[in-house]
Amino acid sequence: MNVAIVKYNAGNNRSVLNALDRLGVKANLTDNADTLLAADKVIFPGVGEASSAMKYLIRKELDTTIRSLTQPVLGICLGMQLLCEHSEENDTRCLGVVPDRVRRFVNIGLKVPHMGWNAISELGSPLFNGVAENAYVYFVHGFYVEPSSKMVASAEYGPRFSVAMNHKNYYAVQFHPEKSGAVGEKILKNFLDL
Protein backbone atom coordinates (compact mmCIF):
# COMPACT_ATOMS: atom_id res chain seq x y z
CA MET A 1 0.00 0.00 0.00
CA ASN A 2 1.28 3.43 -1.01
CA VAL A 3 0.60 5.89 1.85
CA ALA A 4 1.64 9.54 1.56
CA ILE A 5 1.82 12.07 4.39
CA VAL A 6 1.46 15.72 3.42
CA LYS A 7 4.70 17.52 4.29
CA TYR A 8 4.19 21.15 5.26
CA ASN A 9 5.30 23.52 7.98
CA ALA A 10 2.72 22.37 10.54
CA GLY A 11 2.98 18.61 10.45
CA ASN A 12 3.46 16.29 13.41
CA ASN A 13 5.09 13.98 10.92
CA ARG A 14 7.49 11.93 13.04
CA SER A 15 4.82 10.61 15.43
CA VAL A 16 2.52 9.74 12.50
CA LEU A 17 5.35 7.97 10.67
CA ASN A 18 6.16 6.02 13.85
CA ALA A 19 2.52 5.01 14.36
CA LEU A 20 2.27 3.77 10.78
CA ASP A 21 5.57 1.93 11.17
CA ARG A 22 4.09 0.07 14.17
CA LEU A 23 1.30 -1.02 11.81
CA GLY A 24 3.87 -2.29 9.30
CA VAL A 25 3.30 0.56 6.84
CA LYS A 26 6.16 2.60 5.38
CA ALA A 27 4.74 6.00 4.44
CA ASN A 28 6.18 8.61 2.12
CA LEU A 29 6.50 12.12 3.62
CA THR A 30 6.11 14.48 0.67
CA ASP A 31 5.08 17.90 -0.59
CA ASN A 32 5.13 16.70 -4.21
CA ALA A 33 1.71 16.96 -5.87
CA ASP A 34 2.26 13.99 -8.21
CA THR A 35 3.30 11.76 -5.31
CA LEU A 36 0.21 12.75 -3.30
CA LEU A 37 -2.09 12.21 -6.28
CA ALA A 38 -0.60 8.75 -6.94
CA ALA A 39 -0.89 7.50 -3.33
CA ASP A 40 -3.47 4.91 -2.27
CA LYS A 41 -4.10 6.84 0.97
CA VAL A 42 -3.13 10.36 2.06
CA ILE A 43 -2.69 11.55 5.65
CA PHE A 44 -2.88 15.30 6.31
CA PRO A 45 -1.59 15.81 9.88
CA GLY A 46 -1.03 19.10 11.60
CA VAL A 47 0.09 20.89 14.74
CA GLY A 48 0.39 24.64 14.63
CA GLU A 49 -1.36 27.81 13.53
CA ALA A 50 -3.96 27.94 10.75
CA SER A 51 -3.02 31.09 8.81
CA SER A 52 0.70 30.32 8.48
CA ALA A 53 -0.12 26.72 7.54
CA MET A 54 -2.52 27.92 4.81
CA LYS A 55 0.05 30.40 3.47
CA TYR A 56 2.56 27.57 3.12
CA LEU A 57 0.02 25.25 1.46
CA ILE A 58 -0.94 27.98 -1.03
CA ARG A 59 2.68 28.91 -1.76
CA LYS A 60 3.49 25.25 -2.55
CA GLU A 61 0.15 24.84 -4.44
CA LEU A 62 -0.73 22.00 -2.07
CA ASP A 63 -4.12 23.63 -1.40
CA THR A 64 -5.22 22.79 -4.96
CA THR A 65 -3.70 19.33 -4.73
CA ILE A 66 -5.44 18.46 -1.45
CA ARG A 67 -8.80 19.64 -2.81
CA SER A 68 -8.38 17.45 -5.90
CA LEU A 69 -7.56 14.16 -4.14
CA THR A 70 -9.94 11.28 -4.88
CA GLN A 71 -8.45 8.56 -2.68
CA PRO A 72 -9.18 8.31 1.08
CA VAL A 73 -7.67 11.28 2.95
CA LEU A 74 -7.30 11.52 6.74
CA GLY A 75 -6.90 14.95 8.31
CA ILE A 76 -5.51 14.98 11.86
CA CYS A 77 -5.91 17.89 14.35
CA LEU A 78 -4.97 21.06 12.44
CA GLY A 79 -5.37 18.97 9.28
CA MET A 80 -9.05 18.52 10.17
CA GLN A 81 -9.49 22.24 10.82
CA LEU A 82 -7.78 23.20 7.55
CA LEU A 83 -10.25 21.05 5.60
CA CYS A 84 -13.02 23.40 6.82
CA GLU A 85 -14.22 26.64 5.23
CA HIS A 86 -12.97 29.12 7.83
CA SER A 87 -11.10 29.25 11.14
CA GLU A 88 -11.38 31.90 13.83
CA GLU A 89 -7.64 31.43 14.34
CA ASN A 90 -6.35 34.68 12.79
CA ASP A 91 -9.52 34.86 10.65
CA THR A 92 -8.21 32.24 8.23
CA ARG A 93 -9.85 31.11 5.01
CA CYS A 94 -9.13 27.39 4.88
CA LEU A 95 -9.37 24.73 2.14
CA GLY A 96 -13.18 24.60 2.04
CA VAL A 97 -13.42 20.85 1.44
CA VAL A 98 -16.27 20.89 3.99
CA PRO A 99 -18.42 23.96 4.72
CA ASP A 100 -17.81 23.78 8.48
CA ARG A 101 -16.35 26.52 10.67
CA VAL A 102 -13.61 26.35 13.27
CA ARG A 103 -14.25 28.18 16.56
CA ARG A 104 -12.03 29.21 19.46
CA PHE A 105 -12.72 27.78 22.91
CA VAL A 106 -13.74 30.88 24.92
CA ASN A 107 -15.29 31.37 28.36
CA ILE A 108 -15.79 27.66 28.94
CA GLY A 109 -14.47 27.60 32.51
CA LEU A 110 -11.87 25.00 31.53
CA LYS A 111 -8.16 25.19 30.70
CA VAL A 112 -7.44 26.06 27.08
CA PRO A 113 -5.87 24.52 25.09
CA HIS A 114 -7.78 21.33 25.65
CA MET A 115 -4.91 18.95 26.35
CA GLY A 116 -5.23 15.35 27.44
CA TRP A 117 -7.59 12.39 27.25
CA ASN A 118 -11.29 12.74 26.54
CA ALA A 119 -14.13 10.37 25.68
CA ILE A 120 -15.61 10.37 22.18
CA SER A 121 -19.19 9.40 21.37
CA GLU A 122 -21.77 9.25 18.58
CA LEU A 123 -19.34 7.12 16.58
CA GLY A 124 -20.75 6.81 13.07
CA SER A 125 -18.03 5.98 10.57
CA PRO A 126 -15.98 2.98 9.38
CA LEU A 127 -13.06 4.79 11.08
CA PHE A 128 -14.54 3.60 14.38
CA ASN A 129 -15.19 -0.06 13.54
CA GLY A 130 -14.30 -2.02 16.68
CA VAL A 131 -13.93 1.16 18.79
CA ALA A 132 -16.18 1.34 21.86
CA GLU A 133 -18.55 4.25 22.43
CA ASN A 134 -16.96 6.61 24.98
CA ALA A 135 -13.44 5.36 24.22
CA TYR A 136 -10.70 7.78 25.27
CA VAL A 137 -8.35 9.51 22.83
CA TYR A 138 -5.68 12.19 23.18
CA PHE A 139 -6.30 15.87 22.31
CA VAL A 140 -4.18 19.03 22.05
CA HIS A 141 -6.16 21.96 20.60
CA GLY A 142 -7.47 25.44 21.35
CA PHE A 143 -9.95 25.52 18.43
CA TYR A 144 -12.72 23.13 17.47
CA VAL A 145 -15.01 22.30 14.56
CA GLU A 146 -18.68 23.01 15.17
CA PRO A 147 -21.10 20.07 15.01
CA SER A 148 -22.54 19.65 11.51
CA SER A 149 -24.03 17.11 9.14
CA LYS A 150 -20.46 15.96 8.34
CA MET A 151 -19.76 15.03 12.00
CA VAL A 152 -19.22 11.31 12.64
CA ALA A 153 -18.07 11.56 16.29
CA SER A 154 -18.33 14.14 19.04
CA ALA A 155 -16.92 15.06 22.43
CA GLU A 156 -17.57 17.68 25.08
CA TYR A 157 -15.10 20.13 26.51
CA GLY A 158 -17.30 23.00 27.48
CA PRO A 159 -19.32 22.86 24.26
CA ARG A 160 -20.08 19.68 22.34
CA PHE A 161 -17.90 19.69 19.23
CA SER A 162 -17.05 17.58 16.21
CA VAL A 163 -14.09 15.28 16.82
CA ALA A 164 -14.42 13.45 13.52
CA MET A 165 -16.02 14.21 10.19
CA ASN A 166 -16.50 12.56 6.83
CA HIS A 167 -17.30 14.13 3.47
CA LYS A 168 -16.94 11.96 0.37
CA ASN A 169 -13.36 10.57 0.44
CA TYR A 170 -12.23 13.00 3.17
CA TYR A 171 -12.10 11.82 6.77
CA ALA A 172 -10.73 13.83 9.66
CA VAL A 173 -10.21 13.62 13.42
CA GLN A 174 -9.50 16.42 15.89
CA PHE A 175 -7.63 14.15 18.28
CA HIS A 176 -4.25 12.53 17.69
CA PRO A 177 -4.71 8.84 16.83
CA GLU A 178 -0.92 8.45 16.69
CA LYS A 179 -0.80 9.38 20.41
CA SER A 180 -3.99 7.58 21.48
CA GLY A 181 -2.67 4.11 22.27
CA ALA A 182 -4.55 1.01 21.13
CA VAL A 183 -7.71 2.98 20.27
CA GLY A 184 -5.78 5.36 18.02
CA GLU A 185 -3.93 2.47 16.40
CA LYS A 186 -7.27 0.82 15.61
CA ILE A 187 -8.58 4.04 14.04
CA LEU A 188 -5.46 4.38 11.86
CA LYS A 189 -5.77 0.74 10.81
CA ASN A 190 -9.45 1.27 9.96
CA PHE A 191 -8.45 4.21 7.77
CA LEU A 192 -5.81 2.15 6.00
CA ASP A 193 -8.41 -0.58 5.45
CA LEU A 194 -10.94 1.76 3.79
Is residue 61 among the annotated active site residues? no
Band the pLDDT of 31: cuts 50, 70, 90. very high
pLDDT digits (tens, 9 = 90+) for 49-89: 999 999 999 999 999 999 999 999 999 999 999 999 999 99
pLDDT digits (tens, 9 = 90+) for 115-168: 999 999 999 999 999 999 999 999 999 999 999 999 999 999 999 999 999 999
Is residue 77 among the annotated active site residues? yes
pLDDT digits (tens, 9 = 90+) for 83-124: 999 999 999 999 999 999 999 999 999 999 999 999 999 999
2-16, 22-36, 93-107: least confidently modelled range: 2-16
Is the pLDDT confidence value at 10 over 90?
Answer: no
Name 178's bridge partners: none
* Extents of the domains making up the chain: 3-193
pLDDT, residue 12, reads 76
CATH ID of 3-193, from 3.40.190.10, 3.90.10.10, 3.40.50.300, 3.40.50.880? 3.40.50.880
Q: Which of 49, 77, 84, 114 is catalytic?
A: 77
pLDDT, residue 44, reads 97
Q: Which of 85, 146, 178, 185 is catalytic?
A: 178
7-11, 32-36, 42-46, 173-177: least confidently modelled range: 7-11
pLDDT, averaged across the chain = 96
